[in-house]
Structure formats: structure tokens, C-alpha cells
A and B are shown apart, each in its own frame.
Chain A
Amino acid sequence: MKTVIVYKWARNPEDAAVRADGTVDWRNARMTAGEDDFAALEAARAIAPEGELIGLTIGDGDASWALARGVLQAVAVTDAAPLADNAATAAIIAAAIRRIGGVDAVVIGDSEEYSGVPVALAGLLGWPAVAHATSAEAAGGRIRVVRKQGRNDQTISLATPAVISIAAASPEKKVPGMKELLAARKRPITRQTLADIDAAGPDGVTTKGTRLPDGAAARLFDGDPANAARQLVAALRDEGVL
């Protein structure tokens, strides 16, 4: 089953510094692997044998991330910029997937900050999709995923082609070592531009600024632990939660 694993397609919110006036400084943050990218790669591997798995990344991140994790070939759309409109980001990824051609499954991390991207991608491709799955596998020419829904696990089967977004149930266990990083350098990366894939769509959304959220910050007790503990217990008793 020809499967595309989409990785490093957004900036990591943790790379952004929020100043006291609520403005945001991304410094030189590049597209990075999100916290769900590794889980998405694991799911993609469960769907496709090695030879049918293709990595796809957009922007200025290091494209070798997937290659160091066993993916044999990757495509990078190098001039894609971070966009406020999740549909515009998805349009770039969709164009790259169409250009790869003959894809049966797309697996992508279900980032909370950019939670519109995987679903807009499915919409633009016109493919069935399940979001927020925790695992996936190929089963009789279809894809079977498991998703947590409330207190239940739901097992869902989809016809292909399909888009699956994955939420990580655990962090990456073993970061690639020097051997894997060196092997990754020998694997091919097909570098493309937005013009190459006809994906120069505009960002339909403009940011007018950021501010700090309203609401009081936590009431912090510090100093002597015994004193802080007494104040906290008193406050929790006043709240009626103890």
C-alpha cells in the first residue's frame, strides 16, 4: 500500500517565546518534528512495507528526520512558509501528494495547534479520513485504525485512498544514532518548490496580533515550604475541594 508519511510540516509552538506584552517571537524557529510525528511514522510503517513508504516534508526543516528512521526516500517542498490558514498549508501538502501520485494512504500527526491541517488535507484530496487515531494497520486492502472515544476504544475500517491523523500515545523510544544518521545521508531527497507542484495558494488569513490570555494567573505560594503548604491547604479548604 503506497503510503506517504507527512512530517516536519509546522513549527513547534514550544519554539515560540511569548513576550510580556503578548507578542510572539519565533526567533529562527524552523519546521520541526511535532510531538505526534514519530507516532505517525510508526503507524505509517504498520500500513506499508519499507519499499512503499515515502516521506513528505514542507518548509525549511531537516528532511533527513524520516530517512534516519527507516524511510527510504523523501520529498521536500523547500519553500513552503508557515501559514495562519490551515487549509492553505494543507493545500501545499495535497499538491505534493498529487505530484507523488498513486498514493493509497497518507499518515500525518494530529497536532493540536494546527488541528485543521490533517482534515483540510483529507478534504482537498477528497478522501475518507479518521482523525486522532492512536494506531493503524493494513487489513485486506483497507486501513484499520483504533481511536479513543471517551472511555472506549473504537476500531474503524476505511477504504483507501485515505488520510489518517495520529495522536501519540507515547514519545519516541529510541532516537537514531550516528549509524542511522549517516545512512540517512545516502538516501534520496527529492527537493521541490511550490512552483514545481503548482501550489502557490495564498494565505487566506492574516494575523492582526497576539495578546496574553485574560484571567488571573495561578496564585503561587513560595518561600518556606511549611508556610506555603499551610497557605495552600487553607486555600483549598476555602474552595471546598478538600
Chain B
Amino acid sequence: MSRTWIIVTEEKPVAALAAAARALGKTVAAVVVGPRALADAAALAGPDEVTWIDAGQDRGVEAFAAPVAGLIAGDAPKAVLAGASPESRVLAGRVAATMSASLVPGVLSLSMAEDRIVMDRSGLDGRVIETLEAAGPVVAIYAGDDIPAATERSGAGAAVTPLVAEGVADIVIEKTEPAAGADAGITKAQVVVSVGRGLRKKEDLSIIRDLASAVGGEIGCSMPVADDLGWVEKDRYVGRSGQHIAPRLYIAVGIQGAPQHLEGIRGARIVVGINNDPEAPIFKASDYGIVGDLYEVVPALLTALCN
């Protein structure tokens, strides 16, 4: 029986990758690139077999793309799954090229229909679920959340087989240092109130500060507010290339909800959108929302919070 492979470069989402691979009804084999501890953790998260490549300290994980591709392509699997991290994606790209496989990002689940792989993927910035069918082998970049590892497997993980990699690329990590703003309160805050272009002038930030203060939160902002307007410090910009935060409450005030902003708040537990445009994408990503003018809604919230 051929295997379904998963590519692991970090602890999450290994259990979800293994479960999604198992849905195809085959042996699940993992290739882990990273430290031994990662391989051991992956072995407990659901795969039947683990091949471990020690990435060492200085090499980028991406340097091992060719040996990972050689290993997996040699097994000629029908499907391969990888996480969506940049490192995993680079490995997945090389695997797809080596196998002459299709490559599909944003995949949430896979199934078999006769001998074809059928995938549901999140498309158009999460606005639709698209069902796709691959005629040949497919490499899927998994975009779902992680799940707890299956309990029956806990304590009896898969065997870990080390592999000495050959054909390692010249990709060297020169240094790793805390990103600017990594210590900004926003990254650790339990409550964040962010403001976007709905704010008319810098002076009006005072009402956002008042709201943040009333809910015991930190101030954040969308990219234009920090970058174009310079109204809020850049280390408080929330988004794909800014801060990725996971507060228990995120209140987006006057923020439209561009995809790159939403990427920064994926870890938030409860999202509240406040916007005068009922069609603003922020509401699609929100648990609660108020459609209205922030200049009326924020003072009303301050009053309601006092009561």
C-alpha cells in the first residue's frame, strides 16, 4: 500500500496534517526537517512512520528541499501534505516539481473519489470554499487549524528513522534577532483595539485610546495608519507583515478588513468589527459587529462600558 506523506517543519499543524492525510485511507509517513525534539513530537501526533532530517543550527530548513523531494518522490505517493509556513511551502514546491505533481494552496480537507484526489480549499481570502479535483498526484498546502493529537496514539508514537541528507542547498541563517516591536505590548495583550482609515484625523485617536483604556487593552492599527499616515507607531501595525497577535478580544474600529490585515488576527478569540460599511470584509471575519459611524459608536461604547 502506498503512503500519503506529510512534510513537517514545525510543531503545528502536525496532528491536523496527519488526520487529513489519514482521510485518504493510506499509511501516513512524515518527513521532519528540524531538531530531534520536533521529530519526537511529530511521532506522537499521528503519523505511522517518521523520517527525520537534522537541519542543524545554521542551515535554513529550505536548504533540505532537494533531499526531501528525493525521498518523497521516490515513493511515488498520490498525495503529499505540507503546512503553510514559508519553510514548509518551499519544501512542498520542490516536492511537487520533482513529482510532476499539481500544487494546491489553502487546502482544508482531502478525500478520494475513485482514483482521484478531491480537495476543498479556502479561496478568495476565505470568502468561498472551492472544491477541486486533481487528475494526477497532488501536493496540498494545508490551511486549516491544528487539532489535538489523537489520544489513542499518545505515548506510543511512530518510530523515528534518521536520514543523512545529501544535496543540501547553500542557504545559511546568518542571524536571528528580535523583530522591531517584538516587545510591544500589543503582542502580549489580551485585548487590542485597532484603528483604521475610518479615523479622520490624528487628534481623533484620543477616542480610540479612551476605548482601549476602558476595555484594558492596547492600541493597534491597520497598515496605512502606521505606514502612510504615521499616526500610530509601526510596531503596533497588525497584519501579514506586521504583528501577528492572539488576544482574547480584538476590536477593529474603522478597519475595512483587507486580507493582509486579517492574517494578523487569525489567533484572536473574539473579533469585533465597527464599520459604517455593512459590506466591509471585516464583518466576515468578525464574531460581533456594529454597523455605524465610529464617531457615534465609540462614545456609545464608552458609555455602555461604564454602566
Contact surface of A with B, Cβ cutoff 8 Å = 13-14, 16, 18, 22, 24, 35, 84-88, 90, 110, 112-116, 118-124, 126, 128-132, 134, 144, 147-149, 151-159, 165, 167-171, 173, 204-214, 217-222, 225-226, 228-230, 232-233, 235-236, 239, 241-242
Contacts and interface: CB of A to CB of B under 8 A. Distances in A.
B94 interface: yes
A113 B123 contact: yes
Contacts of A112: 105, 125, 240, 259-260, 263
B269 to A, nearest CB: 7
A32 B301 CA distance: 40
Nearest to A201: B100
Main SS class of interface, A: mixed
A148 B293 CA distance: 35
B132 A130 contact: no
A129 B106 CA distance: 20
A116 B263 CA distance: 17
A159 B169 CA distance: 8
B283 A85 contact: no
Contacts, number: 289
The 9 closest A-B pairs by CB, nearest first: A119-B93, A123-B97, A204-B102, A229-B300, A159-B170, A131-B86, A132-B86, A123-B94, A218-B286
Main SS class of interface, B: mixed
B176 A153 contact: yes
A134 B60 CA distance: 16
B126 interface: yes
Contacts of A205: 102, 104, 132-135, 138
A116 B301 contact: no
A54 B182 CA distance: 36
Contact of B123 (A86, A120, A210): A210
B182 A233 contact: no
A123 B65 CA distance: 8
A131 B105 CA distance: 14
Interface in B282-307: 283-293, 296-297, 299-301, 303-305, 307
Contacts of A204: 101-102, 134-136, 138
Contacts of A35: 258-260
B242 A118 contact: no
A114 B141 CA distance: 11
A157 B174 CA distance: 7
A130 B248 contact: no
Contacts of A118: 93
B301 A233 contact: yes
Interface size class of B (residues with CB under 8 A): 35 or more
A222 B278 CA distance: 10
Contacts of B179: 148, 151-153
B98 interface: yes
B130 interface: yes
Contacts of A221: 288-291
B123 A13 contact: yes
A124 B100 CA distance: 9
Interface in B182-200: 182, 187, 191
A147 B96 contact: no
A13 B94 contact: no
Interface string B57-97: 00010110110010000000000000010110110111111
B223 interface: yes
Q: Chain B CB within 10 Å — which of A116, A207, A239 has the most?
A: A116
Given A206-B133, A221-B288, A86 B104 contact: yes
Given A114-B105, A128-B170, A204-B136, A13 B125 contact: yes
A217 B283 contact: yes
Contact of A122 (B94, B104, B290, B292): B94
5 contacts: A13-B124, A87-B103, A123-B94, A129-B90, A151-B178
B171 A128 contact: yes
Given A84-B104, A170-B227, A228-B300, A217 B130 contact: no
B180 interface: yes
B32 to A, nearest CB: 18
A230 to B, nearest CB: 5
A171 B62 contact: no
Contact of A213 (B97, B105, B128, B248): B128
B228 interface: yes
A211 B123 CA distance: 10
